[in-house]
Amino acid sequence: MKTNKRLLLAMIAISTVLSASEIDTGKLYENYCVVCHVTDLEKMKDKASLIAPPADEIMEHMKYEFENKEKAVKFMAEYMLTPDPKKALCASIETFGVMPAQKGIITLEEAEAISSMMFDKYPRKEFIADEVKGRMTFEKLDVNVDGSITAKEYQLFRATKNNIDPSKFINSYYFDRLDLNGDGKMDREEYNIMREEKRRKKNR
Ligand code: HEC
């Protein structure tokens, strides 16, 4: 697994922070999370400087994926203590790499408290996902028009949409899950399954 140097540096920055004694979720977030998951709207705009998805973006994905707060909090707390790239719901894992495990840094109780706070607070209304602009279609993704989409094509679309340098993609964890038969490509049927799943969740 390729480790991201910038994530390691951020972890070192955290280890110098004193730990909080009571569960003050705002403080915990400031101490352990904000160094990677920024919440400053100005900083969020400078996409090239980001080393992890901002809090608003994470919560947009979580609320989309889980039908209630309880399920989202359970997933998030487990994920942050022992991240598993096979379970990650943020496609940005492909540029940022896997999050460093917080086990031993924060307790399960603290992880749940932070998740609950994040659920209540994010995404903020100032955070507008520019979804319509970059709406995905099979044709847009299939750059070389060969009837199937590779991880590279999928990532190129997302790089263009989000102004990310395509060379920043260091893995294909997210794409691999869309490639249901594991042949390295997403064909039209697999694409339709993904879209259908997204529609189903959106209309829930
Ligand atoms: C050193 C940087 C770093 C720190 C510190 C960090 N994270 Fe992360 N986190 C990431 C990256 C990178 C991702 C995206 C890749 C992934 O999902 O593993 C991520 C993803 C997540 C996700 C979404 C997982 C998914 O489904 O994709 C949650 C929730 C999360 N972080 C919560 C937290 C919380 C809460 C804290 C503080 C206790 C924290 N993180 C600390 C880097 C970090």
Question: Whole-angstrom Cα distance, residue 101 to residue 82?
Answer: 5
The predicted model scores a pTM of 0.76
Q: Which of 5, 36, 171 for a ligand 1 pocket mutation test, highest count of atoms within 8 Å of Cβ?
A: 36
Q: Is 25 in the pocket of ligand 1 (CB under 6 A)?
A: no
Q: Is 54 in the pocket of ligand 1 (CB under 6 A)?
A: no
pLDDT tens readout for residues 163-173: 888 889 999 99
pLDDT tens readout for residues 75-100: 999 999 999 999 999 989 999 999 99
CATH 1.10.1060 fits 138-202, yes or no: no
Cβ atoms within 10 Å, residue 16: 6
Count of residues in the chain = 204
pLDDT band at 22 (very low <50, low <70, confident <90, very high): low
Q: Once rounded to an integer, what is the mean pLDDT over residues 190-195?
A: 93
Give pLDDT, residue 100.
Answer: 97
The protein residue with its alpha carbon nearest to ligand 1, atom 36, reads: 33
pLDDT at 188 over 80: yes
Pairing relation of β-strands 148-150 and 185-187?
antiparallel
Give pLDDT, residue 21.
Answer: 47
Q: Is 73 in the pocket of ligand 1 (CB under 6 A)?
A: no
Rounded to 5 degrees, what angle do the CA atoms 56, 133, 37 make? 20
Give pLDDT, residue 11.
Answer: 77
Amino acid identity for residue 11 in this structure? M
Cis peptide before 166 (omega within 30 of 0): no
Question: Whole-angstrom Cα distance, residue 7 to residue 189?
Answer: 36
36 C-alpha to center of ligand 1: Å? 7
pLDDT band at 20 (very low <50, low <70, confident <90, very high): very low
Architecture of domain 5-121: Orthogonal Bundle (1.10)
Q: Is 92 in the pocket of ligand 1 (CB under 6 A)?
A: yes
Q: Is 36 in the pocket of ligand 1 (CB under 6 A)?
A: yes
pLDDT at 16 over 60: no
Same fold, 5-121 and 138-202: no
pLDDT tens readout for residues 145-157: 899 999 999 999 9
Element (DSSP H or E) covering residue 186: strand 185-187
Cβ atoms within 10 Å, residue 59: 22
Cβ atoms within 10 Å, residue 30: 14
Question: Whole-angstrom Cα distance, residue 140 to residue 64?
Answer: 24
Residue scoring higher pLDDT (17 or 41): 41
Give pLDDT, residue 17.
Answer: 55
Q: Domain boundaries in the chain?
A: 5-121, 138-202
Give pLDDT, residue 132.
Answer: 47
* Percent of all residues in the chain with a pLDDT value above 90, rounded to a whole number: 60
Give pLDDT, residue 10.
Answer: 80
Kindly give the number of the ligand 1 atom that is closest to the alpha carbon of 61: 26
Give pLDDT, residue 134.
Answer: 60
Q: Is 19 exposed, middle or buried (0-12, 13-18, 19+ CB in 10 A)?
A: exposed
Give pLDDT, residue 178.
Answer: 94
Computed over every residue of the chain, the mean pLDDT equals: 88
Hey, which residues does 106 pair with through a beta bridge? Answer: 103
Q: Where are the alpha helices (DSSP H) in the chain?
A: 5-15, 25-32, 41-45, 55-65, 69-81, 93-96, 108-121, 138-141, 151-162, 173-178, 188-202
